[in-house]
Structure 1
Amino acid sequence: MKTKHIPFLVLLIAIAISFSFSKNETTPVKPFVVVLDAGHGGHDSGNVGNGYKEKDIALKIVLEVGSILEKQPNIKVIYTRKTDKFVDLYKRGAIANEADADLFVSVHCNAHNSQAFGTETFVLGLHANQRNLEVAKKENEVIFLEDNYQENYAGYDPNAPESFIGLTLMQEEYLDQSIMLAGLIQNNFTNKLKRKDRSVKQAGFIVLHQSYMPSVLVETGFLTNDKEGAYLNSTRGQKEIANAIAEGVLSYHKNLGLATSKAKNPEITQEEIDKAIDSTEEKIYSDYTFKVQLAASSKKLSTKPENFKGLKEITRSKENGLYKYYYGETSDYNKIELMKTFAKEKGYASCYIVAFKDGKKHKLSEVLKTQQK
């Protein structure tokens, strides 16, 4: 997993050591780099539902997000555009790659031929349904406005479903982290702003495919909806949406930083990790229990931490002749996502989340579609 930033506690230790040798020496620290991408721009206005221009609203939201993040220590913000100009999709990803960015966040506004409304946040993946395919196709058709698009995208046709099949390969390494960030942002929209939750989804967006780090595309709402379009076009709406996105990024940075710190710095206590988990915004599915499956084996092991790389809260069950070993047990999906991150950093690269109801396993993708409380 991508963990390029130096955790805060490690930074403090490094600074203390450097001062013990020389007051004039400092320890260089790579900042946590966030690339913010305002969709469309210039001669590409995006959708113009109700007469509003997606390119203008997306830019205003992105600049506000950047303003919030830039006030934080050790966070560097890079913009794919700060003015009303057109930027090729492949160049947006290239900006993030060249900056060796830690996150890529692309901001857009949705449209539909009905009064549909609500927010949805996408990560890169094969379209799960026709609606996701249509959203991705609409955003990807921007390439037709670019010069030499046949050369830049090697014959990619945004109208051909088969073009999406190869898009996930380069991003697969970062999918878990992308989903974690998307969930934090989407949860803020739903719980703090009370926007309709259209959930975290996967679709084949070229702009996400071009970036080699955890990446999300945020559809902040529908300009074609009379009420939501006016909200997104307002200063209040833009500031609220920007705050929700920025807080999601900051929560991701904090939680992932503590997770990687625990793996690399054993001096950070389990109590600190527990505190980080407890402070994570809740996303409760009251009828279900989530666990992280670490391993399956014919061997019966004691669930003590030393057998599981120091992880606590281990449970064991026997299923179909094999012993299954699980980490954590909670109805809070954000908490179990963070616990999965801890487990991966401890070496359980293939661990995954399992959902239970009344002691029986249920398909996670179906559980996540249920109404959260």
Structure 2
Amino acid sequence: MQTTQKYRIVFLVVIFITSLTSFSSLQAQQGKFVVVLDAGHGGKDPGRPTKNGYKEKSIALKVVLEIGKQLEKNPDFKVIYTRKTDVFLELYERSAIANKADADLFVSVHCNAHHTQAYGTETYVLGAKNSDRNMAVAKAENEVIFLEDNYQENYAGFDPSSPESSIAIGIEQEVYVEQSIQLAKKIEDNFSGKLKRRSRGIKQLSLWVLHNTYMPSVLVETGFITNKKEGAYLNSNSGQKKIATQIRNAIEDYKREIDLNVGSLNLGGDTVPNEVTDEKPSIFNDITFKVQIAASKNDLATKSYNFNGLDNLSKEKSGVIYKYFYGSTSNYNKAQKLQLEAKDKGYKSSFVVAYKDGKQIELSEALKSTSD
């Protein structure tokens, strides 16, 4: 009887210790930066066709596994894969995995293809503004749904050939577009700056795999497997490792900026020049110009001590992030000068934004209106 009682006590102690260990392990997971890595295509979906025998699904998987291997060495990260083997995944499953994990980032890796010897990298974020070229890419990537058994049910009548359908899927992730662009820029800058590869830039595209991901998301086209030279690079162990390293570097750099609470966003295309070239006053009575200096998940007090001594600060909430602005003026030349002041204070990626009737509009649209 006493022996039985001892066994019971030992059993309860073991259960207690195990529960503490599990709880400790759970606590260790909390606060980690969760990245979902998605290797494009797989299984019965090989990806883009190529005459040289390279397989997009295989290259994408090898790059993703290398990114994950490197990130997993950093204790601040938790990595989740949509696939780790050559299996077929339906598109909606990929975003569902990311959402279930409550991920901080979703990164999908692919290879490009073209009937010419086109080459270079591209990184896409979700958006409705598709050029003819972008629309063709979107159509090719989205048509994988036809390989799925219940695609009509799963995608609610979505037609990859329809511009209207493509515009519709760009709306849901709008709140995360700026952060997605922030990561996309870092990836492309690393490709061009550190690997000396041709960057074809950051583009917005209506891709279903990015649809319904409730976090910043990008799709990286690592190069053209149809290009003789670039295809060989993508298919090599050395090329795959270099690509993975620079994507990993971009992810870690993105996290550092978020952690600093002042991660600056450079959206491209609408930034103003570093020098003010026209001293003549340029007043737009119905427009308010501000300089966006930072964005953060944290709600910071708009005090000079939080922003390197800058004052005349304001902020607004956009989805899950707060945007921080310096200055407010209807004089565009003055706004340019404010931007230079912000850059001198360390906000190198600051940019001018425009508001009309209390709503943000494209800077290019604002400057088309008549000034006094």
For the 8 Å contact 1:316–1:326, the answer to whether it is kept is no
Judged with a 3 Å threshold, the aligned counterparts in structure 2 of structure 1 residues 126 and 175 are, in CA distance, closer, same or farther, namely same
Q: 1:289 aligns with which of 260, 274, 280?
A: 274
3-state SS in 1 of match to 2:226 = coil
Partner of 2:283: none
- Offset of residue 227 of structure 1: 0.3
| Per-residue CA distance 1:262-289 (angstroms, 9 max, x = gap) | xxxxxxxxxxxxxx88xx99x9x99922
- Offset of residue 167 of structure 1: 1.1
Judged with a 3 Å threshold, the aligned counterparts in structure 2 of structure 1 residues 253 and 353 are, in CA distance, closer, same or farther, namely farther
Partner of 1:141: 143
Judged with a 3 Å threshold, the aligned counterparts in structure 2 of structure 1 residues 294 and 83 are, in CA distance, closer, same or farther, namely closer
| Per-residue CA distance 1:222-242 (angstroms, 9 max, x = gap) | 000000000000000000100
Judged with a 3 Å threshold, the aligned counterparts in structure 2 of structure 1 residues 86 and 27 are, in CA distance, closer, same or farther, namely closer
Judged with a 3 Å threshold, the aligned counterparts in structure 2 of structure 1 residues 327 and 28 are, in CA distance, closer, same or farther, namely farther
For the 8 Å contact 1:292–1:354, the answer to whether it is kept is no
1:164-203 equivalences in 2 (<5 Å): 164-203=166-205
Amino acid at match of 1:47: R
For the 8 Å contact 2:122–2:220, the answer to whether it is kept is yes
1:196-211 equivalences in 2 (<5 Å): 196-211=198-213
Amino acid at match of 2:184: A
Identify the range of structure 1 (311-320 vs 212-221) with the bigger mean alpha-carbon deviation: 311-320
- Offset of residue 330 of structure 1: 7.2
Identify the range of structure 1 (134-143 vs 161-170) with the bigger mean alpha-carbon deviation: 161-170
| Per-residue CA distance 1:59-117 (angstroms, 9 max, x = gap) | 00000000111111221000000000000000000000000000000000000000000
Q: Aligned pair 1:246/2:244, yes or no?
A: no
Amino acid at match of 1:123: V
Cα distance in 1 between the residues matched to 2:59 and 2:93: 21
1:1-373 equivalences in 2 (<5 Å): 29-49=30-50, 50-259=52-261, 288-289=273-274, 293=291, 305-308=310-313, 314=326, 318-319=330-331, 326=338, 329=341, 336-337=348-349, 339=350
Cα distance in 2 between the residues matched to 1:307 and 1:331: 15
Structure 2 residues not aligned, in runs of 5+? 1-26, 276-288, 294-303, 316-322
For the 8 Å contact 1:312–1:327, the answer to whether it is kept is no
Cα distance in 2 between the residues matched to 1:254 and 1:294: 19
Cα distance in 1 between the residues matched to 2:58 and 2:216: 25
- Offset of residue 29 of structure 1: 3.1
For the 8 Å contact 2:59–2:235, the answer to whether it is kept is yes
Percent identity, aligned pairs only? 52
3-state SS in 2 of match to 1:185 = helix
Aligned residue-pair number: 298
Cα distance in 1 between the residues matched to 2:80 and 2:348: 31
- Offset of residue 331 of structure 1: 7.9
For the 8 Å contact 1:294–1:326, the answer to whether it is kept is no
Cα distance in 1 between the residues matched to 2:160 and 2:28: 47
- Offset of residue 258 of structure 1: 0.6
Judged with a 3 Å threshold, the aligned counterparts in structure 2 of structure 1 residues 33 and 163 are, in CA distance, closer, same or farther, namely same
For the 8 Å contact 2:114–2:226, the answer to whether it is kept is yes
TM normalised by structure 1 equals 0.70
Cα distance in 2 between the residues matched to 1:319 and 1:28: 49
3-state SS in 2 of match to 1:106 = strand
The root-mean-square deviation of aligned C-alpha atoms, in Å, is 3.9
Cα distance in 2 between the residues matched to 1:316 and 1:126: 30
Cα distance in 1 between the residues matched to 2:242 and 2:166: 33
Q: Which has the larger radius of gyration?
A: 2
- Offset of residue 329 of structure 1: 4.9
Amino acid at match of 2:31: K
Instruction: Kindly report structure 1 stretches of 4+ aligned residues shifted beyond 4 Å.
Output: 303-306, 309-318, 322-332, 334-337, 349-355
| Per-residue CA distance 1:290-324 (angstroms, 9 max, x = gap) | 996359xxxxxxx984542699995565528x989
- Offset of residue 48 of structure 1: 3.0
Structure 1 residues not aligned, in runs of 5+? 1-25, 261-275, 296-302, 344-348, 356-360, 364-373
For the 8 Å contact 1:286–1:331, the answer to whether it is kept is no
Judged with a 3 Å threshold, the aligned counterparts in structure 2 of structure 1 residues 185 and 330 are, in CA distance, closer, same or farther, namely farther
For the 8 Å contact 1:105–1:218, the answer to whether it is kept is yes
Cα distance in 2 between the residues matched to 1:312 and 1:123: 22
